[in-house]
Amino acid sequence: MPLDLDTGVAKQDPPRAPALSGGSARWTGVSGTRYTAEIYPLGLAVPAKRGIYIFAKPRGPLAQSWLALYVGHAENVASAVHESRRHSYLWDFAVELGMTAIHLVTAEAGAAQRHDIARDLIRSLLPSLNRETAAMQRYGGVGTNLGVTT
């Protein structure tokens, strides 16, 4: 504890606010557009914002670059992630594949623009779980309501 020089009595540090995110990452779409995403390590709550979310795992032990496992978009990303954890095989698959964080690209625009951004990222990053989900939907398997698959 810091020492108060006036009284010689130790004083308490003010309470700290919880971390808002674990930093940021940049993702590039097939269009060449770069998107900045806030990183939310698993266990850190994702905010209730409109945007595109990426289930991601580090490419190496230092997490200096990331691999996208799934890209989705939502009006409320916190709700979409929560529903994914409760009702979807997607979350379990992502964790099994090594997901350690959710990346959030905030997009206050409408659903059509969020869809376009998500599609731009999917076509560039080729996330394995988007491909799996699309294949399952094409062949009448279990679908998902978590985002775009094209």
Each residue's pLDDT tens digit, 39-61? 999 999 999 999 999 999 999 77
Whether 90 maps to a domain, the answer reads yes
**Is 10 domain-assigned?**
no
Number of independent structural domains in the chain: 1
Q: What is the pLDDT of residue 145?
A: 46
Q: What is the helix (H) or strand (E) element at residue 136, kind and residue range?
A: helix 128-138
pLDDT tens figures, 112-147? 999 999 999 999 999 999 987 665 555 555 544 444
The interaxial angle of helices 89-96 and 128-138, nearest 10 deg, is: 140
Quick one: pLDDT band at residue 1, thresholds 50, 70, 90? very low
What token pair was written down for 57?
């795992």
In a domain, 58, yes or no: yes
In a domain, 97, yes or no: yes
- Residue 111 domain boundaries: 24-138
Name the pTM for this structure.
0.76
* pLDDT given at position 98: 95
Indicate if the pLDDT at residue 5 is higher than 50.
Answer: no
Whichever domain contains 66, its CATH number is 3.40.1440.10
Token code pair at residue 20:
């808002």
Confidence at 22, pLDDT banded by 50, 70, 90: confident
Low-confidence winner among 5-14, 23-32, 132-141 (lowest mean pLDDT) = 5-14
Q: Is residue 1 part of a domain?
A: no
> Is 106 a member of any domain?
yes
CB atoms within 10 A of CB 64: 9
Question: Among 100, 92, 97, which residue's Cα sits nearest to residue 146?
Answer: 92
